[in-house]
Amino acid sequence: MTSPKILTGNFGKGAQELSVYKSLGGYANISSRLFDLSQFELIDLVQRSGLRGRGGAGFPTGLKWSFVPRNTPKPVYLVVNADEGEPGTFKDHFLMLEDPHRLLEGMLICGWALGVRTAYIYVRGEFLSAIESLNKAIAQAYAAGLLGANIGGSGYALDIYVHRGAGAYICGEETALINSLEGKKGQPRLKPPFPAVSGAWESPTCVNNVETIMALPWILANGPEAYAALGTAKSPGTKVFSVSGDVKRPGVYECALGTPLMEILESQEFCQGTEGELKGVIPGGSSTPVLTAEEARKANLDYEALAAMGTMLGSGAIIAFNNKRTVVSMLKSLTRFYAHESCGQCTPCREGTGYADRVLSAVTKGKGRDGDLELLLDLAANFTPTTICPLAAADAGPIESFLKKFRSDFEAEIARNPERAEERLNPNFRPGAFW
């Protein structure tokens, strides 16, 4: 099944240039097609399209927009989350690099729907080329009267700023992103209030992923029904996947949601097969629980099908690995990542991610002991419901799934330690005894 290339259609065509983008049909929406719609009609249209947030959680976009208050005395902000930091994910980088005007067009649509006058694109600091491409596109759009005051003669005004993040993973969490945008330390806020009510500078703020916003021009041009017809009933539309790992042709691929995972990995259109014998697949970015090769063969890429398998679609970062890879070191690099990226607010995450990483580090160094796996599982279980944001839970996902699905690999690693059965505790050493 070949689905239309809603988001990646302009790749390689030089659409960074405004004239090229326009000749490919771009900015056709910035006309009476958009400005004749009321806010309600536009939000309703997006709700009917069934578009869901592409940042990872899959929250219905139209519903999120409907939470933003109308007729508020405060300004409403749109913040595009381009702080793509999930290991394995690189789609937004390419989307911004190849087709920045589509993002601007999408932001104009979202901005009109929510009454936004000022919008920000919060870009991960390392994406220098993408930032360059965005800034160039923004300059061109201003020059062409597509941004600034009185856009397209409609009287609508929108200013877009590119804000460079400093490369913290946690700033992909929307409230941490807002803190960072405000110039504060990028740490998630307590919720409620949610950003839709009180976000940037305590004003209503809509935070959407790059890919979500970039789907809007197509939806407006082709109608919500056309978009909803793609993909599955509950996960309509197309999704851009970042495929990496042991595949013949890693890259950014767009296909309809509900496409079998193996089709992406093996079809000629996409990855053209795996390298070596497939051992497992991380389906949606490093935070999502891993699938074994067997599970991967049955998996379909949509929110519901993957949730039913105990994992998540996430940001669509597919990492395939073959049986030559050491899963213990793979998990170790993930736990190291989360320990390094924990923002340091909540105790379980701040202390626990490092704790788990050091336990696993001992295992990879041949110093694992009996009971370490149970300890890791218990730590992971203690992360889950107890923190402000899901970073610790994102660490728990891989720990639990790797240990469950590849347990023998870990046991083999621990078996390297001749002293593995030694009492892990000194029975005389009890902290309580002092107190």
Partner 1 sequence: MPKLPGPNSPRVVINVDGADVEVPSDTNLLEALRTVGIETPHFCYHRDLPLSGNCRQCLVETDGPRGMALTIACYTPIRAGMKVATPASSEKVKKARKAVMEFQLVNHPLDCPICDKAGECMLQENYMQAGQGESRIREDIGKKYHGAPEHRFEDAKHQDRGGKAVDLGPRVVLDEERCILCDRCSRFMHHVANDEQLIISYRGDHAYISTFPGKQLDHPYDLNVTDICPVGALTSKDFRFKHRVWNLKRTPSIDPTDSLGTNLWIEHDGGRVYRIMPRCNAEVNRSWIANSSRAAYAALGENRLLGGYAQGKAIKSTDAMRSILEILQAPGKIALVASGHLTLEDNTALLELKNALGDRATVYGGSWLPVAKPDSIALSGDPVANRAGVTLLGIADNLDQLISDIHNYATLLVVGNDLWGANPDKAKALLAIPNRIAFSAWNDATVKASTLALGINAWAEIRGAMINSQGRLQLLNASPTAPADDLEPAWKVLARLAGTDWETDIQAWAATRKRIPALGELRYSDIPSEGVVLKLDGGKV
- Residue 324 in the binding site for partner 1 (CB under 8 A): no
Stretch that binds partner 1, among 15-23, 51-59, 272-280, 359-367 (CB under 8 A): 359-367
- Residue 380 in the binding site for partner 1 (CB under 8 A): no
How many other CB atoms are found less than 10 A from the CB of residue 411?
16
* Of positions 162, 296, 306, 359, contacts partner 1 by CB under 8 A: 359
- Residue 428 in the binding site for partner 1 (CB under 8 A): no
- Residue 355 in the binding site for partner 1 (CB under 8 A): yes
Token digits for 120? 């920000």
Interacting positions 181-220 with partner 1 (CB under 8 A): 185, 187, 190
Token digits for 134? 């965005």
Which DSSP state fits 167?
Answer: -
Interacting positions 164-183 with partner 1 (CB under 8 A): 168, 170
Q: Which is nearer to partner 1, 253 or 337 (CB)?
A: 337
Is 347 buried (19+), middle (13-18) or exposed (0-12) by CB count in 10 A? Answer: exposed
Taking the C-alpha atoms of residue 80 and residue 432, their distance in angstroms, rounded to an integer, is 50
For 242, phi and psi rounded to 5 degrees? Answer: -105, 110
- Residue 248 in the binding site for partner 1 (CB under 8 A): no
Residue that is written with structure tokens 């839970």 in the block: 393
- Residue 367 in the binding site for partner 1 (CB under 8 A): yes
- Residue 419 in the binding site for partner 1 (CB under 8 A): no
- Residue 425 in the binding site for partner 1 (CB under 8 A): yes
Stretch that binds partner 1, among 77-85, 93-101, 296-304, 381-389 (CB under 8 A): 381-389
The distance of closest approach from Cβ of residue 197 to partner 1 in the complex, given in angstroms and rounded to an integer, is: 15
* Of positions 23, 150, 272, 347, contacts partner 1 by CB under 8 A: 347
- Residue 387 in the binding site for partner 1 (CB under 8 A): yes
Taking the C-alpha atoms of residue 358 and residue 175, their distance in angstroms, rounded to an integer, is 29
Taking the C-alpha atoms of residue 104 and residue 88, their distance in angstroms, rounded to an integer, is 25
Cβ contacts of residue 147 below 8 Å, gap of 6+? 104, 108, 138, 141, 158, 159, 160
Positions of E strands within 331-384 = none
Neighbour order of strands in the sheet with 251-256: 251-256, 238-245, 317-322, 278-282, 291-292
User: Distances in Å between the alpha carbon of 319 and those of 270, 309, 430?
Assistant: 14, 17, 43
* Of positions 258, 352, 397, 398, contacts partner 1 by CB under 8 A: 352
- Residue 346 in the binding site for partner 1 (CB under 8 A): yes
- For partner 1, how many residues bind (rule: CB under 8 A)? 40
The distance of closest approach from Cβ of residue 423 to partner 1 in the complex, given in angstroms and rounded to an integer, is: 10
* Of positions 37, 221, 375, 393, contacts partner 1 by CB under 8 A: 375
- Residue 362 in the binding site for partner 1 (CB under 8 A): yes
CB-CB contact of 254 with 222 (8 Å): no
- Residue 42 in the binding site for partner 1 (CB under 8 A): no
Q: Which is nearer to partner 1, 166 or 308 (CB)?
A: 166
User: Distances in Å between the alpha carbon of 191 and those of 183, 195, 196, 197?
Assistant: 19, 9, 11, 11
Taking the C-alpha atoms of residue 300 and residue 131, their distance in angstroms, rounded to an integer, is 34
Residues that bind partner 1 (CB under 8 A): 168, 170, 185, 187, 190, 339-348, 350-355, 358-359, 361-362, 367, 375, 382, 385-388, 424-425, 429-432, 434-435
